[in-house]
Amino acid sequence: METSRDTVLRARYRQWKHLADQYAFFTLQENYAAADSLWKRLQETEREIVLRLPALRDFLPDPAAEPLILPLRSEEALIEVVRVPAEKRDSVLYLFYLLLPEGRKHRLYLHVLYVDTLWEQRARNAYELLRSPGSVVSGASYRLLWGFLDSLLPAKVKVVYFSPDGVYYLVNVATLYDAQRGRFVADRYEVRYVASSRRLLLKRGRFPVQKPVVVGNPDFGALPDSAAELRTRSYRLFEGGIPPLPGAEVEAKGIAQLLGVEAVIGKAATEDFMKRLQSPQVLHVATHGYFVGGGKNPLLAGGLLLAQAAVWDSLFPPLGRDDGRLTAQEASNLNLIGTELVVLSACETGLGEVRGEGLYGLQRAFLEAGAQRVITTLWQIDDEATRELMLSFYQNWVKRKRGEGVDEVFNRTLRTFREKHPEPYYWGAFVVMR
């Protein structure tokens, strides 16, 4: 937009960037009165920009042009989860919409699960046992979260499109273990995550893309004594400094070589570099991720750490200066229209805060920026195993068959990876979201 011939658009975009920086600055400093006064102006400016961008007409959904029936094959099914608060205190309704093709028609089923919030906590606790190596695999989370759905799916179903909500955002249903049959959900179905069933209806045009971009092991820098007089944050991500990621650098260089590009590492892996991206075909980022939660705007509570992040790890930078953190709010404003795949090879990049309209975090942000698929993680991942998995995935990606998409390639890679690393701790953190 900064190079557009539309002078009004350029001016509105500069105004919008300034307002967005101010909003983030005051929100992070918990000056909510000032932040709220900027929010309405920010939204109005954003709407003006969208209306002046004809290139977005093919990108944004057009409900009038969308088909009424999802394009499901005979061996496929869709499950969309909707979490609704119930009238009774501490109770919720989980609505499971199950769509099955029957010949040329489709049949929609509704399954209702009435539970209390304690059920959600039990389900989450049972699942979190998978988040450490060597843990005992239990069937408890399967019985709580998936067993009843399994009983509704016909035997012919092999692929399940799954749109989560509530506690289901925090689990990878493919890793749930059916103790009675001695198998994981991934052994029975190929699970393909979708942010919303509506995304299966989108018919996006072809957009020009640039060469892949691979970022890894930024130079996080060190805290300077001269910054001591600046205002400190209410939290600090890494006590004692942000550790470097030499494994991430090896991963980035190996993937960059496979994709035929140079890896962006060290001092070059800046927040400014990320913000200047223009629709790379693939974007792979191997660095530290974080999510602290509890703030007013969850899109400002999580992000990726880039070069010089340690300089501002416990301090607020002056307004208008990058702090080495690409927040989810900033990521949602990247230009990734046409980007086939974003891989966030960092810890807990799939986490966020569940609110009325879904999960607010990095995953949602990169999808909103235009990416067609985003691979994120649900827990702290093993560095060596992650590097092995990612290199195998990209080896398969560059040799993929005609018509084979990200979901198929990643699931095929995962099946081979599981032969060497059968524990879900090693493979279960990764989720491909469409």
pLDDT at residue 110 greater than cutoff 70: yes
| Distance in angstroms (rounded) separating the CA atoms of residues 170 and 214 | 27
Mean pLDDT of 14-25: 72
Give the pLDDT of residue 228.
Answer: 45
CA distance 45 to 300: 20
Per-residue pLDDT for 32 more than 70?
Answer: no
pLDDT of 416 higher than 60:
yes
- Looking at residue 190, what is its pLDDT? 94
Does pLDDT of 299 surpass 60?
Answer: yes
- CB proximity list for 410: less than 8 A, separation 6 or greater: 375, 393, 430, 432
The architecture CATH gives domain 213-433:
3-Layer(aba) Sandwich (3.40)
Residue 155 has pLDDT above 60, yes or no: yes
Could you identify the residue written with the tokens 């400093």? Answer: 29
More confident residue, 177 or 55: 177
Q: Give me the pLDDT at residue 282, please.
A: 96
Q: Mean pLDDT throughout 365-372? A: 89
Q: pLDDT grade, residue 227 (50/70/90)?
A: very low
**Three-class DSSP category at 162:** strand
More confident residue, 135 or 231: 135
- Residues 362 and 303: beta-carbon distance below 8 Å: yes
Nearest to 146 by CA among 203, 187, 92, 198: 187
Q: Give domain limits for the chain.
A: 7-57, 65-200, 213-433
Degrees to nearest 5, angle at CA 51 with 50 and 55: 70
- 157-213 confidence digits (pLDDT tens): 999 999 999 999 889 999 999 999 999 999 999 999 998 887 777 666 677 889 999
Exposure string for 359-398, b = 16+ CB within 10 A, e = fewer: bbbbbbbbbbbbbbbbbbbbbebbbebbbbbbbbbbebbe
Q: Is residue 10 pLDDT above 90, yes or no?
A: no
**What pLDDT score does 55 carry?**
57
pLDDT band at 243 (very low <50, low <70, confident <90, very high): confident
Instruction: Please give the backbone phi and psi of residue 191, each rounded to the nearest 5 degrees, phi first.
Output: -90, 125
pLDDT of residue 232: 47
